[in-house]
């Protein structure tokens, strides 16, 4: 579109330059006698018709659409809330490149395989936050998962209980019989009574599957290129604490899986989730847009045809009609 005003300036400059050069050889009246068929007005008309055709073609290429509306569809599936530990201990390097990045990759892979289920994401450390409410928009879910980082929480720690409580409140009222929480953490709970929170979640119909990511031997935590050290200056080693995760899973009828460097364990959990009783829930989706590109395209073609019919010189047969307001030009 920006080409149109630029070309208009160039066209007017070219016509002005042409008139200036012509005046060096003869007067205006003499030029009309020497070249009676010459018509500057027609050149202008041809240009502006061509410019409008170009503009219409650009609009057509932009693919205008309209008429979108929300449509409610009924689906049958499970609501899955994934709670990801983003405490500094998840930066330990016993998984490549670290526990957190390995978790994000695995969660993204699982989302790719979903079809009818709904998913939400919670991040937690010293506090828990809803990163993404329950949704069936898997593309958005993957984008949110990729953005997970320890910088999203203001207080460090590992409040597993807070994450369970928040997840329990985040399920929709339509999913009473199919609520699943997947908890991915190294299990180093320092903040609250996670087992009590799990027992309360079980009364709300929430089944918790826990994934322990890390190794019992542990690994140093690195932030940037520096190791995290304790008050004595010793390098902090983060170790997997499986006991609390196993108890949480048992209390809610779920399962515990220890992640390995080759397999985080989410695929096995999804297989177990697929056996869970499904719920029917309504989801709003967009109806397809009505395509309108053909309208400006038809206008562009009609204008290009008209531009071809406008001759750059006067036509003696049509001269009397004076379509272009040429007068004495």
Residues 302 and 172 in one domain: no
Please report whether residue 132 resides in a domain.
yes
Q: Among positive and negative, which fits the CA dihedral 119, 120, 124, 127? A: negative
| pLDDT score of 324 | 47
| pLDDT score of 201 | 95
Domain count, the chain: 2
Residues 59 and 144 in one domain: no
Distance in Å from the first CA to the final CA of the chain: 30
pLDDT at residue 23 greater than cutoff 80: no
| Stretch (H or E) spanning 239 | none
Please report whether residue 142 resides in a domain.
yes
Residues 260 and 146 in one domain: yes
- Averaged pLDDT, 297-304: 93
Give the contacts of 173 (CB within 8 A, at least 6 positions apart): none
pLDDT > 70: percent of the chain: 82
CA–CA separation, 85 vs 245, rounded Å?
13
Residues 43 and 156 in one domain: no
Please report whether residue 189 resides in a domain.
yes
Question: Which of 61-65, 99-103, 109-113 is predicted least confidently?
Answer: 109-113
| pLDDT score of 177 | 76
pLDDT at residue 50 greater than cutoff 60: yes
Residues 30 and 163 in one domain: no
Residues 170 and 232 in one domain: yes
What residue numbers bound the domain in which 53 lies? 3-66+290-321
Residues 157 and 43 in one domain: no
pLDDT at residue 140 greater than cutoff 50: yes
Q: Which two tokens stand for residue 99?
A: 């526990």
pLDDT at residue 54 greater than cutoff 70: yes
Please report whether residue 329 resides in a domain.
no
């Amino acid at each position: 579109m920006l080409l149109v005003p630029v070309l208009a300036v160039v066209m007017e400059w070219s016509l002005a330059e042409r008139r200036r050069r012509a005046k060096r050889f003869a007067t205006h009246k003499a030029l009309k006698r020497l070249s009676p068929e010459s018509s500057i007005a027609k050149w202008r008309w041809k240009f502006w018709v061509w410019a409008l055709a170009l503009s219409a073609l650009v609009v057509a290429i932009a693919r205008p659409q309209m008429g979108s509306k929300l449509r409610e569809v009924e689906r049958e599936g499970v609501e899955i809330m994934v709670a990801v530990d983003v405490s500094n201990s998840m930066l330990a390097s016993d998984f490549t490149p670290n526990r957190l990045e390995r978790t994000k990759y695995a969660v993204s892979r699982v989302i790719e395989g979903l079809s009818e289920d709904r998913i939400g994401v919670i991040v937690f450390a010293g506090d828990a936050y809803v990163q993404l409410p329950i949704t069936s928009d898997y593309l958005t879910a993957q984008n949110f998962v990729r953005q997970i980082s320890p910088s999203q929480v203001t207080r460090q720690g590992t409040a597993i209980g807070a994450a369970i409580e928040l997840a329990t409140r985040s399920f929709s009222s339509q999913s009473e019989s199919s609520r699943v929480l997947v908890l991915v953490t190294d299990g180093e709970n320092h903040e609250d009574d996670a087992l009590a929170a799990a027992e309360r979640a079980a009364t709300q119909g929430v089944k918790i599957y826990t994934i322990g990511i890390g190794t019992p031997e542990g690994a140093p935590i690195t932030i940037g290129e520096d190791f995290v050290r304790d008050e004595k200056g010793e390098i902090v080693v983060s170790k997997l604490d499986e006991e609390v995760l196993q108890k949480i899973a048992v209390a809610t009828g779920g399962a515990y899986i220890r992640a390995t460097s080759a397999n985080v364990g989410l695929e096995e959990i999804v297989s177990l989730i697929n056996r869970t009783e499904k719920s029917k829930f309504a989801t709003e989706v967009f109806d397809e847009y009505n395509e309108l590109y053909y309208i400006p395209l038809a206008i562009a073609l009609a204008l290009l045809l008209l531009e071809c019919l406008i001759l750059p010189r006067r036509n003696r047969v049509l001269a009397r009609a004076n379509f272009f307001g040429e007068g004495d030009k």
